[in-house]
Structure 1
């Protein structure tokens, strides 16, 4: 018996599986596959080699590699599989191409963080899913680095380029600005945009845009604009979305803030 949860984070397909005794015949994929083993042991067959991946192991498969294996009959097994084209992964990380040099890495902490991101993929909140997509890109940079692929050095973006990024985000507050569009405008990959922006501000671009939305919402509410109109004007999904993020930032709902501000 097995339970499968399937989701997408941007261009990344994610399967979360809870099962016992599941095995796979020898097969291959067109995409890069990253397996995250959380519970149990997987007996892996990969290109005529055999090895065991226990809890905390991350397995890496290049497109076209023949793989197979699984857990012993009756043995509990929990794992996550991520699928992405080699071209997309390379573009997101600022690489000309990607090819894993290692097929097994034992990284329990990284595996745990990948599991948290995978869980966030099932959230009904669009912003939560987008933030987990950002986190996944950064984590995959770590995975690819551990696999033997050398990542490009950090771009010397500096405060001026991050300032330009903030200008672009501020101009598009009424809608979510995709990371790849922002990266193209600045000449940075998603990975280096996220790393550089976080280094300069302590936030991801989407987190920074959300704090600006809530800050501007505060001013509009103080001036008497209805919460529903504020939500629409600033690109919140709906009024409840505004309520959730406003309360998280300021400790009270927009309605309560308006009643206090009128005194």
Structure 2
């Protein structure tokens, strides 16, 4: 929705448990009055700078700084200069944070943490594409973990290998290639913490669970494309959200599109057919 000549807003509700809403906005003249949310507000600024008051203290967000505003605590906000700002916001479900975190966030609502900032940017990039719910949930779990460590001011605990759990998760993914599964379902079935699942699998197999699942779906798609099945039907048959979802990952893994891949087989079949006079 275009608000004015230089002010734009895009908001949506992704199908990712733990994310209430996503907001991408470009503001120049707008000034937020004092207000409060019933969710956690995780904010990064892509251009310009934002200043806001929280609990009678002034804070700012720019560059690689991340801001986390707790629920039910009033705050305002506006551009720190006449050039305005571009921001990306995740509104997060309070159920994923303990109440003690609110006090920590009021005291320290901003973090100059490159790792956290990178994880948030990667999650936003994932949220642009439907069908990537497992990847988005995995990235969100790691963001939650990092936020809890930063708010408590504690070092992350040592990461231990767990090859048995990693292989159990791979077996579960192999049994659900087409229908897929959520990170929460996998954690419940395997009685494991979500972030531990992600780390154990990545350490054992050199890729995160969502990437493994996508690669297995591409494996299923290849022979179907070579057999002449239309790409849109292949996408539906192998668990992809839609044809663009299949195309994006097929090209990323194999370096070519499903259409070109299938066309190469059609050319070979034509060459093998006998010539009749």
TM-score (norm 2): 0.76
Q: 1:114 maps to what in 2?
A: 120
Kindly tell me: are residues 243 and 116 of structure 1, through their superposed partners in 2, closer, same or farther at Cα, counting changes over 3 Å? closer
Q: Given that residues 38 and 111 in structure 1 are in contact (C-alpha distance below 8 angstroms), is that contact kept between their aligned partners in structure 2?
A: no
Counterparts of 1:250 and 1:207 in 2: how far apart (Å)? 14
Q: Does 1:226 align with 2:239?
A: no
Q: Is the 8 A contact 2:43 2:66 kept in 1?
A: yes
Aligned to 1:105: 111
CA radius of gyration, larger in = 2
Give the match for residue 59 of structure 2. Answer: 51
The aligned residue for residue 187 of structure 1 is 191
Give the number of equivalent residue pairs. 255
How far apart are residue 72 of structure 1 and its match? Answer: 4.6
> What displacement does 1:18 show?
0.9
Q: Is the 8 A contact 1:100 1:149 kept in 2?
A: no
CA contact (8 A) 2:135 2:210 kept: yes
Listed one character per residue, the Cα deviations across residues 48-96 of structure 1 (whole Å, up to 9, x for unaligned) are 2223333322122222212123225734112222211221x24xxxx79
Is the Cα–Cα contact under 8 Å of residues 28 and 84 in structure 2 kept in the other structure? yes
The CA RMSD measured in Å over matched residues stands at 3.1
Partner of 1:74: 82
Contact 2:167–2:201 (Cα < 8 Å) also in 1: no
Alignment of structure 1 residues 1-263 onto 2, 5 Å: 1=4, 2-9=7-14, 10=16, 11-12=18-19, 13-72=21-80, 74-87=82-95, 89-90=96-97, 98-99=101-102, 101=104, 102-107=108-113, 110-111=116-117, 113-123=119-129, 125-127=130-132, 130-148=134-152, 150=154, 153=157, 158-220=162-224, 224=227, 226-227=229-230, 230-239=234-243, 241-252=245-256, 253=258, 254-256=261-263, 258-259=265-266
Tell me the equivalent position of 2:275.
none
String of CA shifts for 1:190-249, please: whole Å, max 9, x gaps. 333222222222222121011112123334556x47355544432223455444433432
How many Å separate the matches in 1 of 2:162 and 2:80?
52
Contiguous gaps of at least 5 residues in structure 1: none
User: What is the CA distance between 1:150 and its match in structure 2?
Assistant: 4.8
Aligned equivalents of 2:73, 2:263: Cα separation in 1: 58
Return closer, same or farther for 1:255/1:19 CA change in 2, 3 Å cut-off. same
Deviations along 1:90-120, one digit per CA (max 9) or x if unpaired, are: 4xxxx79744622121235643552343244
Greater relative CO (CA pairs within 8 A, separation 6+): 1
User: What is the CA distance between 1:30 and its match in structure 2?
Assistant: 1.2
C-alpha displacement of 1:33: 1.5
- 1:138 is displaced (CA, Å) by 1.9
Q: Is the 8 Å Cα contact of residues 32 and 63 (structure 1) preserved in structure 2?
A: yes
Aligned counterparts of 1:165 and 1:236: Cα–Cα separation in 2: 20
Structure 2 residue runs without a partner (length 5+)? 273-277
